[in-house]
Structure 1
Amino acid sequence: MRAPNHHRITRKLALTGAVAATGLLLAACGGSGDSDGTAHGGHATASASSGASAGAFNDADVMFAQMMIPHHEQALSMAKLADGRAADAEIKQIVAAVEKAQDPEIQKMKSWLKAWGRPEATAGGHGGHAMAGMLSDADMTDLAAAKGKEFDRKFAELMIAHHEGAVEMAKTEQRDGKDPEAKKVADDVVRTQAAEIAQLRKVLDRL
């Protein structure tokens, strides 16, 4: 009786080993085949490091990014005009601050939209919503034509209005947004641009 029992046990162990090996093989295949779960997890982690999670956003977040990108881009265009035209030291300081803060934010917001699978905004706004504070072509032409103190004054006036528009959009994101990183950028916009508005008003008072 021992031999059959031993034979049966050996067969059982061999079968168990085969099942385990098959299970491991399926698990390995499943790891790549079940890419939706793992890829989404990996994608969300990668996205979070650059700014956003693919599963934690809403329409307000999308609109904030789509509208703020061209808004920031115009601020950078205004800042570029200061080169060779601005005379006031504080204006030059604010120009440098705008360039330092807003270009990285543009790249961050573009990465969010890519992670979310949404397109970037058009220059005219998004979903029928106009972007507050945007300068007209005539405003930009007038600014480009100014130099020295005249440029400084015009730049301050236009950037105040531009920043006020950005703060308005950021406050909407603070209230309605869902993505934590987008709301954090909105907080930064409100804080930094409100401070720059106050500084620009003081500059205007003395120009």
Structure 2
Amino acid sequence: MSEVRTTVHKRCQRRRTTLALVGRLSVLVSALAVTALLAACGSGSTGEATRLAAPGRATDREFIALMVPHHEGAIEMARAALKRAEHPEIRRLARAIVATQKREVATLRAIHRDLFGGKPGPPRAHRFGMTMDEAGMHHDMPMLERARPFDRAFIDMMIPHHEGAVRMARVELGRGSDPRLKRIARAIVKTQSAEIKQLRTWRDRWYGASESGGGSSGAAHPMMGH
């Protein structure tokens, strides 16, 4: 009888040992599964964060946020010139500005969707180490639409506007990271620097150089219409 009890006791002990091992194994498997899941989620989040925080990525975001409304301002000024310009040279330049900058605005918006999703945020020139005036973000459309002679007012407004675009483009070239944005920035520097030179030539030829050297933000205001 005692032999039977001993045999039963040993069997129960082995069963308890087996159940304990199974329990520990289940806990270990669950822990490994949770760890793997967290690692996968963590790597995805880290990868996304790394992509968004890569060197120059913040500059890319700010460049788009600044340049889109900046271009839209130039387009608005150019459309006014298409209606009111006295010189055919100004009308030709205005058509080129509308065509080029509309295309660049569309490209900038598409790049923003690709890199960051959604629409560009508000412009913050201080992120580029300059004021909104230095970025050429301010333009007085009511004044321009009433100004006489119109072409002089247009030139005196467009030169500092272009100068701001060139400043911002150079920041992108120095600190940005996206090659598509760098191509746009190089095009802005090349095209708008040439246009600034041409505008100053016209300003001097038609009206004489302005007090500030032909087109800074401190240029004398043109005579206003009534």
Give the TM bin, normalised by the shorter chain. 0.5 to 0.7
| 1:113 Cα deviation after fit | 1.0
Match of 2:174 in 1: 175
Larger of the two Rg values belongs to structure: 2
Q: Which moved more, 1:190-199 or 1:119-128?
A: 119-128
Helix, strand or coil for the counterpart of 2:184? helix
Match of 2:136 in 1: 133
Partner Cα separation in structure 2 for residue 180 and residue 125 of structure 1? 21
Partner Cα separation in structure 1 for residue 105 and residue 62 of structure 2? 14
Match of 1:155 in 2: 154
Cα contact 1:135–1:158 (8 A) shared by 2:
no
- Return structure 1 stretches of 4+ with deviation > 6 angstroms: none
1:125–1:171 distance in 2 versus 1, CA, 3 Å: closer
| 1:151 Cα deviation after fit | 0.6
Partner Cα separation in structure 2 for residue 57 and residue 82 of structure 1? 36
Helix, strand or coil for the counterpart of 1:120? coil
Give the number of equivalent residue pairs.
154
Helix, strand or coil for the counterpart of 2:82? coil
Offset from partner CA, 1:97-154 (integer Å, 9 cap, x none): 1011100100000011111225413256575964411224xx211101125xx11001
2:106 aligned with 1:107 = yes
2:209 aligned with 1:206 = no
Helix, strand or coil for the counterpart of 1:183? helix
Helix, strand or coil for the counterpart of 1:83? helix
| Structure 1 counterpart of 2:121, one-letter code | A
Match of 1:194 in 2: 193
Cα contact 2:64–2:112 (8 A) shared by 1:
yes
Partner Cα separation in structure 2 for residue 206 and residue 160 of structure 1? 15
| Structure 2 counterpart of 1:83, one-letter code | L
Cα contact 2:82–2:95 (8 A) shared by 1:
no
Partner Cα separation in structure 2 for residue 203 and residue 195 of structure 1? 13
For structure 1, the residue ranges without an aligned partner over 5 or more in a row are 1-36, 38-54
2:92 aligned with 1:121 = no
- Scaled by the length of structure 2, the TM-score of the pair is 0.61
| Structure 2 counterpart of 1:163, one-letter code | H
Helix, strand or coil for the counterpart of 1:122? coil
Q: Spell out the pairing of 1:1-207 with structure 2 (5 A cutoff).
A: 58-118=57-117, 119-122=119-122, 130-131=131-132, 132-136=135-139, 139-147=140-148, 150-207=149-206
Partner Cα separation in structure 2 for residue 127 and residue 164 of structure 1? 17
Cα contact 2:61–2:120 (8 A) shared by 1:
no
Partner Cα separation in structure 1 for residue 127 and residue 162 of structure 2? 21
> What's the C-alpha RMSD, in Å, of the aligned pairs?
2.7
Partner Cα separation in structure 1 for residue 171 and residue 80 of structure 2? 29
The sequence identity of aligned pairs, in percent, is 39
Partner Cα separation in structure 2 for residue 124 and residue 80 of structure 1? 26
Match of 1:45 in 2: none
Partner Cα separation in structure 2 for residue 89 and residue 154 of structure 1? 15
For structure 2, the residue ranges without an aligned partner over 5 or more in a row are 1-43, 45-53, 207-226
Helix, strand or coil for the counterpart of 2:156? helix
- Scaled by the length of structure 1, the TM-score of the pair is 0.67
| 1:185 Cα deviation after fit | 0.4
* Greater RCO (Cα-Cα under 8 Å, separation 6 or more): 1
Helix, strand or coil for the counterpart of 2:83? coil
